[in-house]
Amino acid sequence: MPDTAQVEVDGPLSRKWVVAVAREGATVRLSEAADKRLRAAREHVDALAAGTVPTYGVSTGFGALATRHIPPRSRAALQRSLIRSHAAGAGPAVEREVVRALMLLRLRTLATGHTGVRPETAHALAALLNAGIVPVVPEFGSLGCSGDLAPLAAIGLALLGEGEVLDAQGVRRPAAEALRANGIEAVVLAEKEGLALTNGTDGMLGMLVLALADLHRLLDVADLTAAMSVEALLGTDRVFAADLQALRPHPGQARSAERIRAALAGSEIVASHRSPDCNRVQDAYSLRCAPQVHGAARDTVAYAETVADRELASAIDNPVVLADGRLESNGNFHGAPVAYVLDFLAVPIADVASMAERRTDRMLDTARSHGLPAFLAADPGVDSGHMIAQYTQAGVVSELKRLAVPASVDSIPSSAMQEDHVSMGWSAARKLRRAVDGLTTVLAIEYLTAARALDLRAPLRPGPVTAAAVTLLRTVVPGPGPDRHLAPEIAAAEELIRSGALNEVLARSFAESGSGR
């Protein structure tokens, strides 16, 4: 998507547009309808601020301090103090795309009119996004309840012209300086606005949406690398037949089986051992059951998408302004719905990676590789081939199993026991990002290994789809030969996967063959 794309913020956002703004540089604008909602809601907040009845977030303190009435002369200080005190994060700065997603999703909730912020405050947040200014958001500080408080407060701090940001060129500088350079006026917060800027699940939701986009790409790659390994190990394609898969009608399983079957179509290697003399009855589970595991992962992603889409249509704040002007407290800021699926996704990631590592190991073992040289080495003994690449896979898979332990089952009470149950959804999101990176590495090593094994099956040729994948890899990594420095080759294969280049080659190859959509 070009950098000039613009997203109108008005109502539910699609996952596609979140990725466009967060990752691809799209700009935003608030619709006229959103402006109208903001003005109407603000009138209700102003009326409550002028009244004598204490109202949480308008004329009281926050959290366990909600019993303290705040006089009008101190309310601007109250909102400013909220942002400053809540911007209490620690650790390394989170990634630019995560912060942009966080900003966009908070803007989307502001635009619903349920938070009660002034239009100029929402427009200032949009201006930050469009200027490419990214507040520095430390990794630790959110418990995933009462919203992603510390991360969102870091965004609010930048709106005040305080703290540090990265500008559009990635240079770290004071927020006030970056705002001035882009003609953006620092915000002076009015009643309710500090709370509205911080009380949302936007960080964990943004990371969920980004992970879902990555997993669509990675699961397609996993089907391909599985097919390459089946081919290299002289496995059968008959187990992937549509009528066999239909006996267990999970949609993800059917899709993965179709893609593996299509990737193996036209393979001379597969055809070479279809004769009646083949004495192999069944392939190992890591080959035969790939559609069942990959398909279950696809179905898990599909469920997570339903949760993400519901959240992208939600207005998360506390208290909220309702259509009749009431300002009501609620518990919608609790991150449990998002936290659970963030944790859930880490489980199939670990399992898909574990199965890929088992296939890689089979290609390196002469007892199970059906004629391939030990460790795919050019001169086994002198050369070690891909022996230690599999060690790297094993180390990453072990880490992925640890990352599959759920964060959302933990809860540490906070705010003097007022906030006595929290979701830990931000933590679940952070570990999911690491899991996605780990799966990328594991699949890259299977891709490297299977491509080398297919080259060693010459003169028999692989199928058109798997051959296209090998050809792409050979543009950055040489074919079989004496031992070389392997780490750069793993990194090069990772980049082909991470950039989407491998998926583009797959899409073209499947289109030409008319299958494996």
Q: Residue 174: left (phi > 0), alpha (psi -120 to 50), or beta?
A: beta
Taking residue 32's Cβ as centre, other Cβ atoms within 10 Å add up to 10
Structure tokens at 228: 């390459």
| Catalytic (active site) residue 391 | no
The catalytically annotated residue of 56, 285, 340, 391 is 56
The helix (H) or strand (E) run that includes residue 91 is strand 90-93
Taking residue 358's Cβ as centre, other Cβ atoms within 10 Å add up to 18
Taking residue 328's Cβ as centre, other Cβ atoms within 10 Å add up to 10
Q: Helix, strand, coil % (nearest 5) of the chain?
A: 55, 5, 35
Integer Cα distance of 87 and 160 in angstroms: 12
Structure tokens at 60: 């009281």
Handedness of CA 178, 180, 182, 184 (dihedral sign): positive
Integer Cα distance of 414 and 422 in angstroms: 8
Burial grade of 489 (CB within 10 A; 0-12, 13-18, 19 or more) = buried
Residue found by looking up tokens 């990959």 in the block:
294
Structure tokens at 463: 């199928």
Taking residue 33's Cβ as centre, other Cβ atoms within 10 Å add up to 13
At 471, the amino acid letter reads T
Integer Cα distance of 231 and 225 in angstroms: 10
The end-to-end CA distance of the chain, in Å, is 22
Catalytic residues: 56
